[in-house]
Amino acid sequence: MEYISEENGLLWKPSDEIKQRANLTSYMSWLQQEKGLQLETQAQLWDWSVNRLEDFWASIWQYMQIQASQPYTQVLAQPQMPGAAWFAGARLNYVEQVFRHATAERPALLIRSETAPLREVSWQELQHKVGAIANGLTAMGVGVGDRVVAYVPNSEEAIIAFLACASLGAIWSSCAPDFGTRSVVDRFKQIEPCVLFATDGYRYNGKMLDRRSIVAELRQALPTLRKTILIPSVYEAPDSADAADILLWDELLAYDDTLTCAQVPFNHPLWVLYSSGTTGLPKAIVQSQGGIMLEHVKFLHLQMDLKPEDRFFWFTTTGWMMWNLLVGGLLVGSTILLYDGSPGYPQLGTLWDLVQEAGITVFGTSAGYLTACMKAEITPVQTHQLTRLRALGSTGSPLPPEGFRWVYQAVKQDLWLASISGGTDVCSAFVGGSILLPVYEGEIQTRVLGAKVEAFDELGRSVINEVGELVLTEPLPSMPIYFWNDPQGKRLNDSYFASYPGIWRHGDWIQLTSRGSVIISGRSDSTINRKGIRMGSSEIYRVVEDLPEVVDSLVIGVELSGGAYYMPLFVVLKDSQPLSEELITKIKTRLRNTISPHYVPDAVIAIHEVPRTLSGKKLEVPVKKLFLGLPLDKIVSLDTLSNPHAFDDFIRIAAQFRDTTEATVGS
């Protein structure tokens, strides 16, 4: 690998040796030998993958040796969106694809928590436990199509319970134990589960958090439950359950451990994921066994270059789709690391400690964590031995250019930085990394294979080197097969296809560069539209948060009567220092000179925290609705937030603003 510091933003490019070892190189060689295709570059490969969609996905099936008890009769019987029908006739099971990689040469799982030391779980042990839990579920009457839900941390038990559920053809859904009762009920009640896996508590940020009362509330609020399986995580396991409908985890482990995998159609539901639910009842997004399997083996093996000998870690909880993607590492035979705890306890460098301790080779985290490390002036290159780390993934929000530079200056120079962007809606990425391509600061390397991503302007025309709506003009196998309780598909259609019939609109601003890289500039539903000029909020954040005094920021644009427009910028300051006129002037001048006078806010206001979802996304739209006069309980579910108290400042500021709306504010 080669680190470069040049004025054109080029930070890294792969060596010839890396290219030769790359999974993408092996795949292209296989395409030439088996299919007679002469594809030599990422761009050529992507172009073929989206314009010959059936040929591409058939090749992934064959190349990745997907196991099926019954072969498919057609790759894509109905290519339209929504409703694309993939791999008709095939019968398979996600879990078989996992355990075909079982080996004694390396562990399947690495487990670590804030209080427990690192330990290994072998493939054999994992398979035996999955078999026992699956047979225990069968004894309860759980079968194909039944819903099994889990209120559990990122633990060994979570992986085992999910794989057991999937092996039966049952449908999985999980929430992290930092979700409150209402949030969990809003999700789980929609799908009428028959079994609940639940933890008695969890540890986070050095504290022990009791969840036994919430589990009791869930049992009362979910009338379809037949059994609850209690997983002792914090408290000593009782000798026996205190209710007839409760079983202990160890009771299920006592069942026969022979694993049998039900053969289900390709389009059979695997799990239910949920939209953030910040502004209403969360959408219950159903994705298929085959669609997820195929998408994850493609993305992880080819785009993330995961190999069986890799140790793969993405910091996540069971309430974020990145947990589901992390589990997908087992589909390609990698060892995956599960960490249950805070990334900032006992100090912000904890995850780097873990990467060193576990010998992680591919480490993924949020852009927010990387920028927090940058702000705290953490330098892992000086404090840690990261010799095995070869790739760093970033997602959750756009990583700003200075975040890219920090990685190469403070973490490691011989490192492939793969920034990715996608969504819960497909449980994968639309755009991401390619180990064959250089890394430029502030840019995602490429559109991923099989994802026909385009940028549409206001007239619905595909554009290059211009900011536009992120759309997909061809289907992906992991797109939702339906939303739960949406029999006519109206909510699904309204969510993705209302703007451009037959074309998926994702809701991000995207720019495709002439060299094939990608820039994401924020959510299009939180766009700033000042004097007719649309701008992505991430451009403002990049400039403002580059200032050493600013820890975090949030900007909104509020349309007022008479055509007026108010654009305040909220800032969290380092060490809670007071906001001075000097700093306000500095912020406005930096925005005016760095980007445009149109980006200068009408007001700069200090706050204590930026409100964020549990996955780290800034909540611009709910803040905007507060300023428009909507009550907080109508615009956001506080249980879905990592820091609900952050709204306290905005409630006060918005009330003051509404009291003075007759005064002249921006235009």
pLDDT reading at 227 higher than 90:
yes
pLDDT reading at 121 higher than 80:
yes
pLDDT reading at 238 higher than 50:
yes
pLDDT band of 527, cuts 50, 70, 90 = low
Closest by CA to 411, choosing from 492, 345, 356, is 356
Mean pLDDT of the chain: 92
Q: Which amino acid is at 163?
A: L
- Token pair 């559109």 in the structure block, residue: 447
Return the minimum-mean-pLDDT range out of 26-35, 96-105, 563-572.
563-572
Contact 60, 297 (CB under 8 A): yes
* 171-175 and 195-199 strand pairing: unpaired
Per-residue pLDDT of 438-463, as tens digits, reads 999 999 999 999 999 999 988 899 99
* Region for residue 507 given its phi and psi (left: phi exceeds 0; alpha: psi -120 to 50; beta: otherwise): left
Per-residue pLDDT of 557-574, as tens digits, reads 887 765 668 899 999 999
CA distance 663 to 153: 50
Return the minimum-mean-pLDDT range out of 157-161, 239-243, 382-386.
239-243
pLDDT reading at 97 higher than 50:
yes
pLDDT reading at 526 higher than 80:
no
Return the minimum-mean-pLDDT range out of 7-16, 159-168, 260-269, 419-428.
7-16
Return the minimum-mean-pLDDT range out of 10-24, 161-175, 459-473, 625-639.
625-639
Percentage of the chain lying above the pLDDT 90 cut: 76
Cα–Cα–Cα angle for 507, 425, 126, rounded to 5 degrees: 150
pLDDT reading at 242 higher than 90:
no
What's the whole-number mean pLDDT along residues 388-392?
Answer: 98
Contact 395, 155 (CB under 8 A): no
Residues 6 or more apart in contact with residue 469 via CB below 8 angstroms: 455, 456, 499, 505, 506, 507, 508, 509, 510, 524
Residues 6 or more apart in contact with residue 210 via CB below 8 angstroms: 200, 201, 234, 235
pLDDT reading at 4 higher than 90:
no
- Token pair 């995580």 in the structure block, residue: 233
pLDDT reading at 279 higher than 60:
no
CA distance 27 to 33: 10
pLDDT of residue 271: 98
pLDDT of residue 626: 87
pLDDT band of 290, cuts 50, 70, 90 = very high
pLDDT of residue 174: 97
Per-residue pLDDT of 37-79, as tens digits, reads 999 999 999 999 999 999 999 999 999 999 999 999 999 998 8
pLDDT band of 1, cuts 50, 70, 90 = very low
What's the whole-number mean pLDDT along residues 249-262?
Answer: 97
pLDDT of residue 258: 98
pLDDT of residue 562: 56
Percentage of the chain lying above the pLDDT 70 cut: 94
Task: Report CA-CA distances (Å) from 76 to 57, 426, 473.
Answer: 9, 17, 15
Domains and CATH numbers, the chain: 527-659 (3.30.300.30)
At residue 258, what are phi and psi to the nearest 5 degrees? -70, 125
pLDDT of residue 277: 62
Per-residue pLDDT of 318-347, as tens digits, reads 999 999 999 999 999 999 999 999 999 999
